[in-house]
Amino acid sequence: MKAGSRLEKILSSGQFAVTGELGPPRGADVEVIKKKAEHLRGMVDSVNVTDNQTSVVRMCSMAVCKLLLEMGLEPNLQMTCRDRNRIAIQSDLLGAYALGIRNVLCLSGDHNKFGDHPQAKNVFDLDSIQLIQTVKQMRDEGKLLSGQECEGVPKFFIGAAANPFGDPFDFRPIRLAKKVQAGVDFIQTQCIYNMEKFREYMKRVVDMGLAEKCYILAGITPLKSLGMARYMANFVPGLDVPDYYLKRLAGVEKKKQAEEGIKIAVEQIQQVREIEGVAGIHLMAIEWEHRVPDIIKAAGLYPRPEVN
């Protein structure tokens, strides 16, 4: 085992993994985190804690990860390159390991111009691939980027993100191959709505042998309403939301659209489970954590497996 986390044990044993997501609050209210976390307890194998997602100031990911550990949940620390140089990144990684965090997701991060502090300076001293390499070097060689040996080696299970739908489409598997070469252990994809295009992406990934070198978790985001579906289709870069989902949601009463969105998410989970190379799902129920149990149970993914 590389880190010995619950997520690593489930994936390495060949069981279908489920990760969830928790967005920290725009403040210091711990009760918000506890309430969200209770909806995820027993439903997912580990919980992503976002790192100032969309460049909006929120409670820091590492602090929330520590709170989840104290609650008995396994966190995935998201770390972006947007706000830290290599000194701060390595310092935070050492601190995270000392706190008991064993899964880390390496991300570039959204540009600050999209957030609530557009005047802030972007750092981007490293990119996501270089961050993967940094974590791997610290874990496997026990050395910082400077060459200095670590006094206590941080053993992380290394994750990263992938967008199967970005342009140009032909480059997406190549981009994934770069992350695999850098040393990533698991991948969580962007939200998947265009299943046919995702099947084509995964076929290329499998043909390149990448699914044998890392675990791929398909991203699932339930649609709460027709309005949300339209927003995702028109304003979120890199997403591909087919028109038939918009028509399907438009065909039901507004008060029933949420339930229809749940049905769609369950159907998507069942479809990705049949795709070669998919090792699990990453369920991103954005500010809808209380519906996670409904989705997981309806998809036949409850109870979650026990590992030692």
Q: Is the pTM of this model over 0.95?
A: yes
Q: What would the mean pLDDT of 23-31 be, rounded to a whole number?
A: 97
Does the structure show a pLDDT above 90 at 308? no
Rounded-to-integer distance, Cα 254 and Cα 118, Å: 35
- Of all residues in the chain, the percent with pLDDT exceeding 70 is 100
Structure tokens at 92: 């935070």
Q: What would the mean pLDDT of 222-240 be, rounded to a whole number?
A: 94
pLDDT at position 275 is 98
Each residue's pLDDT tens digit, 61-115 = 999 999 999 999 999 999 999 999 999 999 999 999 999 999 999 999 999 999 9
Distance of CA 72 to the CA centre of its chain: 20
What residues have CB less than 8 Å from 48, skipping those under 6 apart? 19, 20, 21, 22, 75, 76, 78, 105, 188, 282, 284
Q: Which domains does the chain have, with CATH numbers?
A: 6-298 (3.20.20.220)
The mean pLDDT value of the chain amounts to 97
Rounded-to-integer distance, Cα 201 and Cα 207, Å: 10
3-state secondary structure of 47: strand
Strand-pair partners of 106: 79, 160
Each residue's pLDDT tens digit, 28-38 = 999 999 999 99
Does the structure show a pLDDT above 90 at 185? yes
Strand 215-220 versus strand 278-283 pairing type: parallel
Does the structure show a pLDDT above 90 at 238? no
Does the structure show a pLDDT above 90 at 269? yes
Nearest to 284 by CA among 224, 195, 226, 201: 224
Each residue's pLDDT tens digit, 274-306 = 999 999 999 999 999 999 999 999 999 999 999
pLDDT at position 41 is 98
Each residue's pLDDT tens digit, 9-22 = 999 999 999 999 99
Does an H or E element contain 17, and which? Answer: strand 17-22
Asked, as a colleague might, if the bond just before 303 is cis with ω within 30 of 0, I would say yes
Are the C-beta atoms of 291 and 263 separated by less than 8 Å? no
Q: What would the mean pLDDT of 251-266 be, rounded to a whole number?
A: 98
Rounded-to-integer distance, Cα 271 and Cα 289, Å: 22
Amino acid at 233: A
Asked, as a colleague might, if the bond just before 242 is cis with ω within 30 of 0, I would say no
Query: What are the backbone angles phi and psi of residue 282, rounded to the nearest 5°?
Result: -115, 105
3-state secondary structure of 44: coil
Asked, as a colleague might, if the bond just before 168 is cis with ω within 30 of 0, I would say yes
Each residue's pLDDT tens digit, 153-170 = 999 999 999 999 999 999
Angle at CA 224, nearest 5°, toward 265 and 261? 35
Strand-pair partners of 187: 160, 216
Round the CA-based radius of gyration of the chain to a whole number and report it: 19
pLDDT at position 52 is 95
